[in-house]
Amino acid sequence: MLIQVLSTLSVVIAFIFIYRKYRTDHEDFLLLKLISYYLLCSFRFNFNDLALPAGFIIYLAFLKPQINKPVKKAIAHLGLFVFIWGVLTPIIQNSYFERQRVVNASSNNIYTIDLNEDHNTIKQKLGISEYTKIENFAASFEDSGEIKELKYSFLTNDNKGIVLYKINFSSNKNKYIIKPMKVSEWMHYDDGLINEDQFFYALSYLDLEKAKPQEEYPYYTVKYDGGCANWGVKDFENFLITDNGFNKLNNDELPVNGYVFWIFGNKRTGESSYYSNSNRAYILPIHK
């Protein structure tokens, strides 16, 4: 809003300056003609997301002023400048909005890190006051708890529209690298994604030291892929997340409608290749 006001004020001041400096002859209705020149030359035609200075092209092709030529030419170029500024402003604003931010993490150990508090710190850094929805989450960690990789995405929907925030944890710097991105729409935003309270509630009762497979692996992963599911896979390592931690589910207790968190070990198959093993499903039920 402030940028629009300042831009309009600058155009008015430039218009008055040009009118006083470059007017050479008396001409009836000159001010109205100059306004018409300005409006014409600032007009743009959008073709497949490509902005074309259609008005200025018309001016060059058909308008050959004989009287007050300097002032009309200057006003025409002012209109062209406004056209260019109108094209560049959203690009500049979007680039500024989507710039990378950095926030310190509370720990580099998955067993002691306070992800909920860190998420609130990230929101404060970004000026987010409303609740967020988690799109996905994945963290890989060693048996000691040291984080190898942690990344997740969350969304907001407010007066800025729908914004996707991608978070990457830098284990070397013990910091979160944040990259916002405006998106036009997002499927299942209203009814398919887990909100932050539910998500961090689930993580708080997932004691990863106990929840991870007991077999020894080079590293382990906890993962949430987004959305909810009516989980009914039988003869599998299924657990229900509750206020008391998590409980083993029997086949006759399935299916369960909820959000599924995966925890598994990563078995080495080559020098730098792994595959998931000893998969476990932890379901946070949806209570209707």
Confidence class for position 4, pLDDT limits 50, 70, 90: confident
Judgement on whether residues 12 and 42 belong to the same structural domain of the protein: yes
Alpha carbon separation from 274 to 67, 93, 192 (Å, rounded): 78, 42, 31
Residue 232, token pair as written in the block: 């009914």
- Round to whole Å and give the CA distance between 114 and 124: 15
Judgement on whether residues 127 and 257 belong to the same structural domain of the protein: yes
- Round to whole Å and give the CA distance between 31 and 182: 42
- Round to whole Å and give the CA distance between 91 and 88: 5
182 near 97, Cβ under 8 Å?
yes
Alpha carbon separation from 69 to 46, 56, 59, 165, 231 (Å, rounded): 29, 15, 13, 52, 76
Judgement on whether residues 107 and 63 belong to the same structural domain of the protein: no
Mean residue pLDDT of the chain comes to 90
Q: What is the pLDDT of residue 81?
A: 96
Residue 26: domain span:
2-97
- The answer for 49, left when phi > 0, alpha when psi is -120 to 50, beta otherwise, is left
Which of 46, 77, 97 is the last residue in one of the domains? 97
Judgement on whether residues 246 and 165 belong to the same structural domain of the protein: yes
Of 63, 83, 65, whose CA–CA distance to 27 is shortest?
A: 65
Strand-pair category, 274-285 with 238-242: parallel
Judgement on whether residues 40 and 123 belong to the same structural domain of the protein: no
Residue 231, token pair as written in the block: 């989980």
Q: Which residues pair with 91 in a beta bridge?
A: none
Judgement on whether residues 160 and 249 belong to the same structural domain of the protein: yes
Judgement on whether residues 150 and 237 belong to the same structural domain of the protein: yes
Judgement on whether residues 54 and 185 belong to the same structural domain of the protein: no
Q: What is the pLDDT of residue 287?
A: 64
Residue 193, token pair as written in the block: 């994604």
Residue 244, token pair as written in the block: 């008391």
- Round to whole Å and give the CA distance between 36 and 32: 6
Judgement on whether residues 173 and 71 belong to the same structural domain of the protein: no
Number of structural domains (the chain) is 2
Q: What is the pLDDT of residue 30?
A: 95
Which of 67, 97, 127 is the last residue in one of the domains? 97
Chain segment 74-114, per-residue pLDDT in tens: 999 999 999 999 999 888 988 999 999 999 999 999 999 99
Judgement on whether residues 60 and 124 belong to the same structural domain of the protein: no
- pLDDT beyond 90 at 185: no
Which of 67, 82, 97 is the last residue in one of the domains? 97
Chain segment 21-75, per-residue pLDDT in tens: 999 999 999 999 999 999 999 999 988 888 999 999 999 999 999 899 999 999 9
Is the bond preceding residue 53 a cis peptide, omega within 30 degrees? no
- pLDDT beyond 70 at 187: no
Judgement on whether residues 110 and 252 belong to the same structural domain of the protein: yes
